[in-house]
Amino acid sequence: MSARRIDGKGAAQAIRDRVAAHVADFRQTTGRAPGLATVLVGEDPASAVYVRSKNRATAEAGMVSFAHNLPDTTSEDELLQLVIDLNADERVDGILVQLPLPPQIDATRVIETIDPGKDVDGFHPMNVGRLATGLPTLVPCTPFGCLYLLKQELGDLSGLEAIVVGRSNIVGKPMAQLLLIEHATVTIAHSRTRDLPSVVRRGDIVVAAVGRGEMVRGDWIKPGATVIDVGINRLPTEDGKGRLVGDVAYDEAGQAAAAITPVPGGVGPMTIAMLMRNTVVAAHRRAGLKDPEGI
Ligand code: NAP
């Protein structure tokens, strides 16, 4: 392993510290703390862990968290009404509806009902469109965190060949938009891509967001590339506990890459840090203040 290990945990903590400082200033200026409402429908254990961490991070940054935990029998109308109420609630600057939602609820309708100014996940079509046209917006947290790590590692991304594997609305597509804004030459690969290893081998930057444990092998990586691994996969182990791995075979890829994110401790902590960042930014915009600097 010759690659540098990109410390997402450390970078995330630095962002959260800066967010906390901006929260303190915001409180002083407006007399209130920014607020984040989280909505969890059902009892999916992974979702419950994510939402708990998000609420904890909100409190640690000095913000107010409003946690709404609803049963998995909640109807679409009930959830839409809650979102409408949160849109109207002056104490709430950010609304996060944890996905996936139970089958009786259309996630698209829910996302489209969130006030775009409070859409701290950046999934509302208006925010997606603003990102695609290069306008200021709220950017999806995971790809925004990946971009932060890439810029920290490489500085100027202009002209670099970037390969994004995965085209989801949550990670792959916004990641590609962000890299394009930074003037990288971007390729989006997916399950129908022909000869994926050769496509990935072109990348000065590789972002893997697939959901298949260790799919990207060491000999797919161009020597000197920077690799960002978004995947979170649990591989079975003999003791039954399972082993958490990314979409990239870390040890192999680390032989060729110049720098690589670990799983865990890479992109994961950045997602929460960027959610905190988006919430404090949304609060500033709603209060008519200019965006906080340095985050
Ligand atoms: P997703 O919606 O399932 O999308 C997966 C993408 O990978 C799709 O575009 C799919 O292509 C592509 N794909 C699947 N199999 C492939 C193959 N054999 N070769 C090439 N491409 C393939 O997943 P997601 O929401 O983007 O998440 C991806 C991974 O990131 C998951 O492991 C997830 O747990 C993780 N994640 C982590 C964080 C974090 O905070 N660290 C946040 C979000 C997601 P098609 O479109 O052609 O089907």
Which tens digit of pLDDT belongs to each residue from 229-284? 999 999 999 998 899 999 999 999 999 999 999 999 999 999 999 999 999 999 99
Six token digits for residue 205: 């930057």
For residue 165, which atom of ligand 1 is closest to its CA?
A: 21
Q: Catalytic: 81?
A: no
Ligand 1 center to 209 CA (angstroms) = 4
Please check the confidence at residue 32 and state whether its pLDDT lies above 80: yes
Q: Catalytic: 9?
A: no
- Active-site position among 54, 118, 173, 222: 54
Helical ranges in the chain per DSSP H: 8-30, 45-60, 76-88, 107-113, 125-132, 141-154, 172-181, 196-200, 250-256, 267-286
Q: What residues flank ligand 1, with Cβ below 6 Å? A: 142, 165-168, 170-172, 189-193, 196, 209-212, 230-233, 267-268, 271
At residue 244, φ and ψ (nearest 5 deg) are -80, 125
Yes or no: say if 111 and 97 are a contact pair by the CB < 8 Å rule: yes
Nearest protein Cα to ligand 1, atom 41: 268
pLDDT in tens, 87-121: 999 999 999 999 999 999 999 999 999 999 999 99
Q: At what angle do helices 267-286 and 141-154 cross, to 10 degrees?
A: 110
Mapped onto helix, strand or coil, the DSSP state of residue 207 is: strand
Yes or no: say if 162 and 207 are a contact pair by the CB < 8 Å rule: yes
pTM passes above 0.95? yes
Which of 121, 146, 210, 229 most suits a substitution to test ligand 1, by most atoms within 8 Å of the C-beta?
Answer: 210
Residue 35 backbone class (left: φ over 0; alpha: ψ -120 to 50; beta: rest): beta
